[in-house]
Amino acid sequence: MELIKIYECLCDRTRLRLLNVLAQGPVCVCHFQDVLGEPQVKISKHLAYLRERGLVESERQGNWVIYALPKKPSRELKANLACLQDCTRENAVFKRDLARLKKIEPSCAWVRAGEPENAPGQCRC
Amino acid sequence: MELIKIYECLCDRTRLRLLNVLAQGPVCVCHFQDVLGEPQVKISKHLAYLRERGLVESERQGNWVIYALPKKPSRELKANLACLQDCTRENAVFKRDLARLKKIEPSCAWVRAGEPENAPGQCRC
DNA sequence: GAATCATATTCTTGTAGAAGAATATGATTG
DNA sequence: CAATCATATTCTTCTACAAGAATATGATTC
């Protein structure tokens, strides 16, 4: 039952925040640290947890790693991500995360635009 | 964050089956045992888990206890139960549970009709 | 190739929870 | 009130996982 693996991913606050941010588009790990204000280990381990269960995909771009929601999400995943979006829309923490993301966005627009060939050697976040 | 408590409830197979059955209407514990084919302890403990977190409500009717989804579910709960319904519609296990429920239903229609005053002294399930 | 940057893994500790066995509670019947 | 029925709780064992500290890996730059 894949559904249960999805719910297991969703029952942690940090992971919900990660998924909420990812709903806006691909994000690299250093962004997550800034946006969530959580230590690197924590971010990294929760992203690994999500990746192992197929809720996110990752791709290395030079020195850093970009995470994104699956290109081909299952019906169940799609439904639950939509539901999550719906449930968090008005939540302060989630809104704050998105606001912080927006501030960072301009400096790393290439990540979100999917233009890795423009990647600088060092992350400017 | 109430949302996380909801997801914690949803990440167990037995609890998903219980909620799936409850989506049809109120059910007493002995029904659950028959429908899911699981031991009494297991059913009882998972129902308690759900009750403690507000995903179900219970009401004693003489010798037995009837469980139901909350009369006034939160926005989050409503959304997630709908999503769950959507995701399980085609699943064999969940469909089988509903089929078994339907077979039992006639003998205890009063429970589902909400007519406790007609309750017999002994459950006929 | 040494230093640096970004990310991941390993280790430890603490806690939640799942399952089953045994037992307890609470209501009903005779 | 003793027996029975329906449900709940307690106890034990096992496993998953969250968090942080320390360390490792892998790519880039000088």
Q: Sorting pLDDT into bands at 50, 70 and 90, what band is B119? A: very low
| B8, B79, B93: residue with CB nearest A87 | B79
- The pLDDT score that the predictor gives to residue B59 is 94
- The pLDDT score that the predictor gives to residue A120 is 41
| A7, A79, A88: residue with CB nearest B7 | A7
Euclidean distance between CA atoms A8 and B9, whole angstroms: 10
- The pLDDT score that the predictor gives to residue A109 is 54
User: CA A44 → C1' C10, Å?
Assistant: 14
Tell me, rounded to whole angstroms, the distance of Cα B15 from its chain centroid.
9
| pTM for this model (two decimals) | 0.89
pLDDT tens-digit profile of B26-66?
999 999 999 999 999 999 999 999 999 999 999 999 889 99
Cβ A58 to strand C below 7 Å: yes
Interacting residues of B6 by C-beta distance below 8 A, sequence separation 6+ = B53, B55, B76, B77, B80
- The pLDDT score that the predictor gives to residue A122 is 43
Query: What DSSP assignment string belongs to B60-125?
Result: EETTEEEEE--SS--HHHHHHHHHHHHHHTT-HHHHHHHHHHHHHGGGGHHHHHT-GGG--SS---
User: CA B63 → C1' C14, Å?
Assistant: 41
| A1, A11, A80: residue with CB nearest B4 | A11
Sheet holding A27-28, edge to edge: A27-28, A64-68, A57-61
User: CA A91 → C1' C13, Å?
Assistant: 33
Provide the shortest C-alpha distance from residue A44 to chain B (in Å). Answer: 20
Among A7, A121, A1, A5, which Cα is nearest to A64's? Answer: A121
Cβ B42 to strand C below 7 Å: yes
Euclidean distance between CA atoms A1 and B92, whole angstroms: 11
